[in-house]
Amino acid sequence: MADAPAPTADELTIKVETTPADWRFPSANQTKRCFTCYIEYNRCIAAKGEGSDECNMYAKCYRSLCPGEWIERWKEQRANGTFAGPL
């Protein structure tokens, strides 16, 4: 059984970045920004469909700011029709 070739340095490079600053959220607490990005992402997906480049910007924002438990809970609430946000 032949071994697979080892990945090159370019294949192992991971790009780590954070969301850019947003003047609407000047404080260190980013909870409201997290929720706003999640709302804007879901509105964008509803309007433009999955895979839209514009929507990916909002996805990167909420995925980097929101705790995973919140995202999972919001997905369940949306599926159940009990999500509190304005979608």
pTM greater than the 0.75 cutoff = no
Q: The domain 28-80 is classified under which CATH number: 2.60.40.10, 3.30.365.10, 1.20.1260.10, 1.10.10.140?
A: 1.10.10.140
pLDDT digits (tens, 9 = 90+) for 25-84: 777 788 899 999 999 999 999 999 888 888 999 999 999 999 999 999 999 999 999 998
Give first-to-last CA distance, the chain, whole Å.
53
